[in-house]
Amino acid sequence: MKWFLSLWAMPVALLGGWYGLSYYDMSFGFFMLTRDAHDLVFQIYGHILGIPPEDLPPLVARAIVFDSFLVLALMAFRRRRRIAAWWQARRQASEALASDESLSSAP
């Protein structure tokens, strides 16, 4: 599971880092981090996909959010027994607390 998470998180972090640095033109001397490269990449992808380049960033963001929900759902499914045990223990503790409070407030 650690490998799966790292293989998911690394491209997301690299893409997010590149997008943020190139959008604000913080190049540090690298061409790929310039705003010109940013615009060129989105023009190329827009041309390949046949959509305007300004429509791509929201589509990529939605894809990352969707993939993140899939990864979190997979993690929750793999740990469902632990989550169910935690939920049941929490519920029993709150019921015990409620019954203790009702006993202490009785006249």
Each residue of 55-70: b (16+ CB within 10 Å) or e? ebeeeeeeeeeeeeee
Tokens of 45: 């992808």
Q: Within a domain: residue 6?
A: yes
pTM, whole model, 2 decimals?
0.70
Tokens of 99: 């019954």
Range of the domain at 57: 2-79
Residue 99 domain flag: no
Looking at the structure of the chain, the number of domains it has is: 1
Nearest Cα to Cα of residue 34 among 50, 48, 18: 18
Q: What is the DSSP letter of 51?
A: S
Residue 36 lies in a domain: yes
Per-residue pLDDT of the chain (107 residues; tens, 9 = 90+): 788 888 999 999 999 999 999 999 898 999 999 999 999 999 999 999 999 999 999 999 999 999 999 999 998 888 888 888 988 999 988 888 777 666 566 55
